[in-house]
Amino acid sequence: MYAPIFTICNADSGVQAVLGGSPIRLYPFGEAEEEVVKPYATWQGIGGAPENYLDQAPDIDSFALQVDVYGRTAEEARAAARAIRDAIEPHSQITRWNGEDKDSATGLYHYSFDVDWWVER
């Protein structure tokens, strides 16, 4: 009942190049440790629904995700976001670029985007 973002990204050499490997530094929202190696990314579900029918049970679910990427520099965050984008676009659709900023408390650069993903049951 989840979009396979981690599975897809963990198997991608481009993502491994910027987010490490075994496993990559892509965490469900709230699960990244405070002193995690940078860059890293988080994802969270922000919506979705089963594809309901009148005559049968749903056979596919839609998931809307928000991906947030953090880095020590703007270019580091952007490179990680590009790698994730390139890995997931064959399987999903990016629906919104949420912008970028610099967190005043941590000094980390942040890049965010939304993804829609359809997953067969």
Range of the domain at 34: 5-51+60-120
**pTM of this structure:** 0.94
Q: Is pLDDT of 15 > 90?
A: yes
Question: What share of the chain has pLDDT > 70, as a percent?
Answer: 100
Per residue in 44-59, pLDDT tens? 999 999 999 999 999 9
At 63-104, the pLDDT tens digits run 999 999 999 999 999 999 999 999 999 999 999 999 999 999
Q: How many domains does the chain have?
A: 1
Strands of 79-108 (E only): list them: 93-102
Q: Are 7 and 28 in contact (CB under 8 A)?
A: no
Single-letter amino acid code for the residue at 61: D
Helix (H) or strand (E) holding 62: strand 60-71
The answer to whether residue 1 scores a pLDDT higher than 90 is no
| CATH number of the domain where residue 104 is located | 3.30.2000
CA distance 64 to 110: 20
Cβ 42 vs Cβ 94: under 8 Å: no
